[in-house]
Chains A and B, each alone.
Chain A
Amino acid sequence: MKPLDNKRPGRAVDQLESWGRYPRVPARLFRPERMRDFHAGEGPSLARGLGRSYGDAALLTDGDVVLSERLDRCLEFNPETGVLRAEAGLSLDALIRAFVPQGWFVPVTPGTAFCTLGGCVAANVHGKNHHRDGSFRQGVTSLEMLTADGSVRDLTPADGDDFEFAFGGMGLTGMIREVELQLRPITTSMMMVRHSVAGNLPELMAQMDDEARDDQYSVAWVDLLARGERAGRGVLMTGHHAEINELPMRYAAHPETLLTDRPGRARPFPFEAPTWLLSPGNLRLFNSMYHKWQGRKGTFFTPLRTFFHPLDAIRNWNRMYGKPGFVQYQFVVPFESGREAVTEAISRLNAAQASSFLAVLKRMGASDGGPLSFPMPGYTLALDIPLREGVIDLLNNLDALVADHGGRVYLAKDSALRPDTFRRMYPEWERFVIHKRQVDPDGRWQSDLARRLELV
């Protein structure tokens, strides 16, 4: 029923933040509960999902930020083919909950399930299977988009740039209303996982490049604090969806449990941590223990939630970095200069004492999506850096290194990149800007990221 009170209920907030909790900006929030109310505000507007991007991609200073989270309905599903059409606010968490018991999984998932389909398209997210299956774009067969002139368009790959540029388009080409994607069939909800230890970075990369050692999903944890001979030591973690006949007898004895989703109860991170918690000494200790403990595991079975989204078990883990927040820095560099660039980046991080214990290295496969889509063939390294003085300078310094090696940083995690460096990293940027001017001549869709990178 149409509410009697016709004012569009918005909420003014002083400090809208994303997952990195930096930066924080004032904005007006809207949270429509009906699809027809999912549209731009009066001025510059931006659609926002669950706010899991780290930097300013989902922020819009003094603008209208429209939350998609209440628009999360599944609209069509073909149980024969596994093609699902759903509203853009559907989270991967809800999708997994609903479809794993029916034998289907998402084609690509980032490290958290608390992200929306719309957000996954906008950032063209990738997962541990990027080297084999590509990014989120590969699973998507169709999109419904609200354009700047207020019309609703159904887009398929046949629509060329109008469709492709939405992937990695950071929500700047239109508001994504619906997403149609091809789910992946699974026969069990368990993962068969293999961990192996590498003593240093060259060894780790060699293991990762070894086709015999490879699997559908592959990612490595790297100890950034280890020095000298052990620099870049880590644990390579690979895995695939376990087939029924791979599971030990005790699972097969209870066939009804083969496709269960056990999201577990997310425990909150209890407080805003004091900054000393993540002091270099504590981190070094943690990393040594983690290296030993994870390396010992060998081959084992684990529920898919644990494999794909381990940090989702701790709600608000971002509070671990205390009040100032943190940045997550992720870059990719081509294979040719990969080892050199990654080694140099690690040594610069160490020199700056920018301690981080969540460092992840993986191989990426072919590019897809629009000009601002992040993935490209090469090695990608992702790490958290607690925010403090000098961090932005350090990032700009690393940005230059990455650009020099022909690499790029992930815009969904960025909050520091400068426009000139951005253009070196994303050489097709001009095509995006031209397209944006065509589809949105009045600059209706904006974000702080777009403003910072001079895209609007």
Chain B
Amino acid sequence: MTPLALETKGSVLVVGATSPIARAAAAEFARQGYAVILAARDKDELDRIAADLRIRSRVEVTLLPYDADLKGSGTRLAEIALELEPPLIGAVWVVGDLGDQDRAQEDVTHAKAIVRRNFTGVIDVFTPIANAFEARGAGFLIAVGSVAGDRGRAKNYVYGAAKAALHAFMSGMRQRLDRKGVRVRVVKPGFVDTAMTFAMGPLPLLASPDKVGQAVARAATGKKDEIYTPGPWRWIMLIIRHLPERVFKKTNI
């Protein structure tokens, strides 16, 4: 028989836990012996994912409600997560929603909802956790960003802007907290094979959510601050970021 769950390494909070990337990340944390706290809105899905994690990795799984659209939800989530045992050692932000760019151009409310779901929500959750980690002098914060946040494109710039804000937020926290022993990481996936991209048909460098989820979990212990996944996106985005605006604006990238 395999050993039962290894000695407990602390809890990891996964926010937006019902997405396939989050599920894979949580499974990887569980495999490494962390207790996991899953937060999302969809109770039925949370229950299914939690049952699966418990059966496959035999770790402790705690479920908490979180709804980015609900005022105060993120603050409450952080409060509760910080009180749970075993103590919180890491938090992962996997909330993301592409939305509908065409609609966002007509409907400002929709545009703002995209920004809230991809960015403003993280402020409520990560601020108190970051402060607690800072006081403790240990912990990690990981956010799943996107290559779309590296440069605004006509196709999805509201989403891209929200992701860019997320990247900047994390980068600032990194500079503030790295010296205090808190690791702050951003994982930037390219196209991931999820419901978000399924209807688009075959896409270049399409990554499985499992691969991205594993990259997220590995980011906690790895040395890199910003992780592109799959790797080649680092070089693609390097080029795209450095195209002069007068050239970029004329392309259809």
Contact = CB atoms under 8 A, between A and B. Distances in A.
A73 B48 contact: yes
B114 A35 contact: no
A31 B198 contact: yes
Interface string B39-52: 01110110011011
A3 interface: yes
Nearest to B69: A1
A25 interface: no
A96 B98 CA distance: 35
B44 A74 contact: no
Contacts of A2: 41
Contacts of A9: 195-196, 198-199
A454 B98 CA distance: 43
Interface in B8-27: 16, 18-20
Contacts of A84: 55
Contacts of B117: 1, 4
Given A74-B51, A74-B52, A75-B48, A5 B98 contact: yes
A33 interface: yes
A73 B98 CA distance: 25
Contacts of B218: none
A103 interface: yes
A11 B19 CA distance: 20
Given A1-B117, A11-B199, A259-B1, A34 B55 contact: no
Given A4-B99, A34-B18, A74 B201 contact: no
Contacts of B95: 1
A383 to B, nearest CB: 33
28 contacts: A1-B18, A1-B67, A1-B68, A1-B95, A2-B41, A3-B97, A3-B195, A4-B113, A4-B117, A5-B99, A7-B199, A9-B196, A10-B199, A31-B195, A33-B19, A33-B20, A33-B195, A34-B18, A74-B56, A75-B52, A75-B55, A76-B55, A77-B55, A84-B55, A98-B56, A101-B1, A101-B2, A102-B2
A73 B20 contact: no
Contacts of B211: none
Interface in A1-26: 1-5, 7, 9-11
Nearest to B47: A75
Interface string A93-122: 000001001110000000000000000000
Interface string B81-118: 00000000000000101111001000000100110010
A73 B51 contact: yes
B175 interface: no
A3 B52 CA distance: 23
B127 interface: no
B194 interface: yes
A154 to B, nearest CB: 16
B1 A103 contact: yes
Contact of B194 (A29, A33, A73, A98): A33
Chain B interface bracket (under 10, 10 to 19, 20 to 34, 35 or more): 35 or more
Interface string A248-261: 00000000000100
A36 B55 contact: no
A323 interface: no
Interface of A: 1-5, 7, 9-11, 29, 31-36, 70, 73-77, 84, 87, 98, 101-103, 259
A98 B53 CA distance: 11
B155 to A, nearest CB: 14
A259 B69 CA distance: 47
Nearest to A87: B48
A11 B201 contact: yes
Nearest to B40: A1
A36 B41 CA distance: 14
A252 to B, nearest CB: 15
A9 B194 CA distance: 10
Contacts of A77: 55
Nearest to B201: A11
Contacts of B18: 1, 34
Contacts of A32: 195
Contact of A4 (B48, B100, B200): B100
List the 10 closest pairs (A to B, CB-CB), nearest first. A73-B52, A9-B199, A74-B55, A5-B100, A4-B99, A77-B55, A73-B48, A101-B2, A74-B52, A75-B51
Contact of B42 (A1, A5, A31): A1
Contacts of A35: 44-45, 48
A2 B103 CA distance: 16
Contacts of B1: 101-103, 259
Given A10-B198, A31-B198, 9 more contacts: A1-B40, A3-B97, A3-B195, A4-B97, A9-B199, A11-B198, A73-B51, A75-B55, A98-B55
Contacts of A3: 97-98, 195
A29 B51 CA distance: 28
Contact of A34 (B45, B69, B99): B45
Contacts of A36: 44
B55 A259 contact: no
Contacts of B48: 35, 73, 75, 87
Contact of B51 (A10, A76, A102, A259): A76
A134 B198 CA distance: 38
Nearest to B66: A1
Interface in B168-211: 194-196, 198-201
A246 B210 CA distance: 38
A161 to B, nearest CB: 29
A5 B159 CA distance: 13
Contact of B114 (A4, A31, A70, A101): A4
Interface in B46-74: 48-49, 51-52, 55-56, 67-69
